[in-house]
Amino acid sequence: MPIAFSQGFTPHPKISYASAAPTGVGSEAEYLEIGLQAPVDPEQLRVALDAALSPGLDILEAVIAGEGSLADRIDASQWRLELPQVEPAVAEKAVTAFLDSAEVLVERMTKQGKRAFDARAAVSRCAVAAEPDLPSGAVAVPCAIIDLVVRQVTPAVRPDDVLSGLRVVAGLEPPVPPRVTRLAQGTLTAQGEIVDPLDADRGGVGIGER
């Protein structure tokens, strides 16, 4: 693919990632912009990139970028937090306490050292999902699932900050590391829905409809 390169002594390929997911979490919704030197059929680009990437890193769709930058179209993320061995009712209590707080101070190590910040204000939705139906005969292992929508703010509030917040307000300590997956990114509407940032460039045609 005719990737464009930056100028300078060591030219870098023109790729920019919009709010990349932190290390150690899964994602179903990463977005990036690639600069090209010449027009390429988006589908051709998608197939070529997908072939070169690792199994599990799948390029779902490519569109020609329209007006404005990708970053301008992303101001929130939806996450799924799976907490194995945590009873949903216990999680529910912690989430309620979190939402009832005006501010939840958490600490995180940053490059500048340990800093405290509010994890509450950026959270626009936090709810314990209904328990999934188990196939008949399966032994139920408790696993609380939290549905989370976080607005992009500075400093960034990440899912593990919200988990820290749940520990701060309700002493929730998952016995095994929670599994976190980003489900969507985009513009947060007044109704609390997330609009796919590529929508504008698709002329309103959704992925499923193509």
Query: Footprint of another protein on this chain (CB under 8 A)?
Result: 2-7, 9-11, 14, 23-24, 35, 37, 52-57, 176-177
Q: Measured from the CB atom, is 3 or 99 closer to another protein?
A: 3
- Smallest distance from another protein to CB 33, Å: 12
| DSSP letter (8 states) at residue 71 | G
Q: Which helix (H) or strand (E) holds 83?
A: strand 76-84
- Smallest distance from another protein to CB 167, Å: 16
Q: Measured from the CB atom, is 83 or 188 closer to another protein?
A: 83
CB 145 within 8 A of CB 81: yes
Contact residues for 12 (Cβ-Cβ < 8 A; gap 6+): 5, 6
- Smallest distance from another protein to CB 121, Å: 26
Q: Measured from the CB atom, is 22 or 206 closer to another protein?
A: 22
Q: Measured from the CB atom, is 11 or 66 closer to another protein?
A: 11
Of 79, 95, 76, 77, which is closest to residue 87 (Cα–Cα)?
95
Tally DSSP H helices, then E strands, for the chain. 3, 10
CA distance 88 to 65: 42
Tokens of 58: 């799948």
- Smallest distance from another protein to CB 54, Å: 3
Q: Measured from the CB atom, is 7 or 191 closer to another protein?
A: 7
CB 126 within 8 A of CB 172: no
CB 197 within 8 A of CB 74: yes
- Smallest distance from another protein to CB 179, Å: 9
Q: Measured from the CB atom, is 7 or 136 closer to another protein?
A: 7
Beta bridge partners of 36: 3
Q: What is the dihedral of CA 173, 174, 175, 179, to 10 degrees?
A: -150
- Smallest distance from another protein to CB 66, Å: 18
